[in-house]
Amino acid sequence: MTSFKPAYIETYKRGLLKEKIDQAYEILNACTLCPRACGVDRLSGEKGICQTGEQAIVSSFNPHFGEESPLVGNHGSGTIFFARCNLLCIFCQNYEISHEGEGIPFSSEELARAMLSLQDRGCHNINFVTPSHVVPQILAAVGKAVELGLRVPLVYNTSGYDRVETLRILDGVFDIYMPDFKFWDPKVAEELSDAPDYPEVAREAFKEMHRQVGDLVLNGHGIAQRGLLIRHLVLPEGLAGTEQVMRFLAREISPNSYVNVMAQYRPCGRAAEVPALRRAITPEEYQKAIQAANKEGITRLDERKRVFLFKWM
């Protein structure tokens, strides 16, 4: 049996990774890396909505045991949390990181060393959390890390607000995509993230991710090697559009999609500005979400203990 080899190793050997790095950095001259298309010159210090210039800002990097089962295994997922974000949901549970930018700038060398440190600690993968606005910096770091012996799969852990053109640059680099389909209704997306185009953008992004890596594939120990792993955070009063999201996944992505229907919403950040978001979801709302998935034939669901919070603000 042939041992698994991450796609980026072959991409590096063929000299294609260098081309992808150059292509991605060229975009930063007038940034259209994400759907916001701010057009600022990040290489000269200008900043757009993501408030990030030439260097990525890292909030933390550690083995993480709270991620999905196929990522965690026995040794954890090697998460690297980037500060700032291109979507900026008002209820973000990492508000201090995404909105307030807690973290320190990392060079590509420092980011590469962080990746190797996580691999050395036994992590099953390197999990880039909120990567959409720092794709060039990640690619540059991967290039340096490969030279130092990086060999575990890379996870693109995103809100789903990604340009297809940018995702195409990542083809042959990431083996695992882990997007969160957040909102189905453009009006909800506008109110909660100031991004009315989110549903359309996410649908196209999901299709491109699946085209690249297909359904999630696990090894004999249940650890993810390649494929699409989907998250969907259930919001109070059906704001996330769970039924429509599950129908889309089953009919336009794959009925064999691996999905984590998440129950852990709690009011954070500026959630109190929206009355419906001032409480956690109920067990009944969560069960309705699971039923919606099953009704559409989505049965590969991540199974973990669910915790519900009933405190109202």
Write the pLDDT tens digit of every residue in 107-153: 999 999 999 999 999 999 999 999 999 999 999 999 999 999 999 99
The predicted structure's pLDDT at residue 307: 46
Residue 313 domain flag = no
- In this predicted structure, the answer to whether residue 310 has a pLDDT above a threshold of 70 is no
Mean of per-residue pLDDT scores for the chain: 95
Helix (H), strand (E) counts: the chain: 11, 10
Spatial separation of the C-alpha atoms in residues 61 and 81, rounded to whole Å: 6
- Banded pLDDT at 303 (limits 50, 70, 90): confident
The predicted structure's pLDDT at residue 3: 80
- In this predicted structure, the answer to whether residue 265 has a pLDDT above a threshold of 60 is yes
CATH assignment at residue 177: 3.20.20.70
Residue 52 domain flag = yes
- For 17-24, what is the mean pLDDT? 98
CA angle in degrees (0–180, nearest 5) for 224-228-232:
110
Q: Considering the entire predicted model, what is its pTM?
A: 0.95
CB atoms within 10 A of CB 89: 27
Residue 311 domain flag = no
- Three-state SS string over the chain comes to CCCCCCHHHHHHHCCHHHHHHHHHHHHHHHCCCCCCCCCCCHHHCCCCCCCCCCCEEEEEEEEECCCCHHHHCCCCEEEEEECCCCCCCCCCCCHHHHCCCCCEEECHHHHHHHHHHHHHCCCCCEEEECCHHHHHHHHHHHHHHHHCCCCCCEEEEECCCCCHHHHHHCCCCCCEEEEECCCCCHHHHHHHHCCCCHHHHHHHHHHHHHHHHCECEECCCCCEEEEEEEEEECCHHHCCCHHHHHHHHHHHHCCCCEEEEECCCCCCCCHHHCHHHCECCCHHHHHHHHHHHHHCCCCEECCCCCCCCCCEC
The predicted structure's pLDDT at residue 313: 32
- In this predicted structure, the answer to whether residue 221 has a pLDDT above a threshold of 80 is yes
What is the percent of the chain with per-residue pLDDT over 90, rounded to a whole number? 95
- For 50-71, what is the mean pLDDT? 97
Sequence-distant (≥ 6) Cβ neighbours of residue 2 within 8 angstroms: none
Residue 266 domain flag = yes
Spatial separation of the C-alpha atoms in residues 16 and 22, rounded to whole Å: 10
Residue entry with tokens 């807690």: 102
Residue 127 domain flag = yes
Residue 170 domain flag = yes
The predicted structure's pLDDT at residue 275: 97
| Closest to 119 measured CA to CA, from 84, 89, 157, 146 | 146
Q: What is the pLDDT of residues 155-207, one digit of tens each?
A: 999 999 999 999 999 999 999 999 999 999 999 999 999 999 999 999 999 99
- In this predicted structure, the answer to whether residue 225 has a pLDDT above a threshold of 90 is yes
The predicted structure's pLDDT at residue 309: 44
What is the count of structural domains for the chain?
Answer: 1
- In this predicted structure, the answer to whether residue 45 has a pLDDT above a threshold of 90 is yes
Residue 1 domain flag = no
- For 220-248, what is the mean pLDDT? 97
- CB distance 98 to 52 below 8 Å: no
- Banded pLDDT at 1 (limits 50, 70, 90): very low
- Banded pLDDT at 304 (limits 50, 70, 90): low
- For 258-273, what is the mean pLDDT? 97
Residue 2 domain flag = no
- Banded pLDDT at 293 (limits 50, 70, 90): very high
Residue range of the domain that includes 171: 7-301
- Banded pLDDT at 232 (limits 50, 70, 90): very high
